[in-house]
Amino acid sequence: MDIKAVAIDNPESLNLILGQSHFIKTVEDVHEAIVGAVPGVRFGMAFCEASGPALIRHSGTDEELVQLAIRNAQRIGAGHSFVVFLRNAFPVNVLPAIRAVPEVCRIFCATANPVEVIVAESEQGRGILGVIDGVPPSGIEGDAEIAQRKEFLRTIGYKL
C-alpha cells in the first residue's frame, strides 16, 4: 500500500468542503442542500463514484468552480469522496444542510486554508485517511488576540 499527500488545488483560497458519501444520489442531494441553505450561492461539486462506470459526477451553479472541483476530485481519486468549492458563502452556512443529507458519511474538512489530503492507494483503489488543514499553531492567544477574535465574530455577524 502506498500513502501520499495530495495537495488541494485552490488558487483563490476559496472555502472548500471535503467529505465522503455512499451513493450516486449524493450529487443531486448535496446540490439541493446547498442551494436551499444559501439562496444565490455560487458553488461547484464533484463526486467520485466508487463502482459501476466509476465516473466523476458533478454539479453546481458556477462552471468555474465545478471544473475546479472536478480537477481536485481527479487528483484525490478516492471512491465515494466529494469536494465542494464555495463562493459568496462559508462552510458554516451549508454544513448543517450537507450533514443532513442521508448519503453523507463524513466531513473531513471545511476550510479556506491550504489542504493536503492523505490518500492510501492499494491494488483495489484509493481511500482518504485524513487531511492536513492549514499550518501548525504558532503560539497561544493572549488577551489582545482574545479581544480581536471576539470583535471579529461580532463584526461579521456570527455573535451578538
Q: Which residues of 78-109 are buried (b: 16+ CB within 10 A; e: fewer)?
A: bbbbbbbbbbebebeebbebbeebebbeeebb
Cβ(101)–Cβ(2) below 8 Å: no
2-155 homologous superfamily: Ta1353-like (3.40.1520.10)
What is the per-residue pLDDT across 68-119, written as a single tens digit (0 to 9) for each? 999 999 999 999 999 999 999 999 999 999 999 999 999 999 999 999 999 9
pLDDT at res. 120:
98
DSSP 141: -
Can you tell me the mean pLDDT for 8-34? 96
The overall average pLDDT reported for the chain is: 96
Spell out the domain ranges in the chain. Answer: 2-155
Q: CA-CA distance, 142 to 12, in Å (whole number)?
A: 30
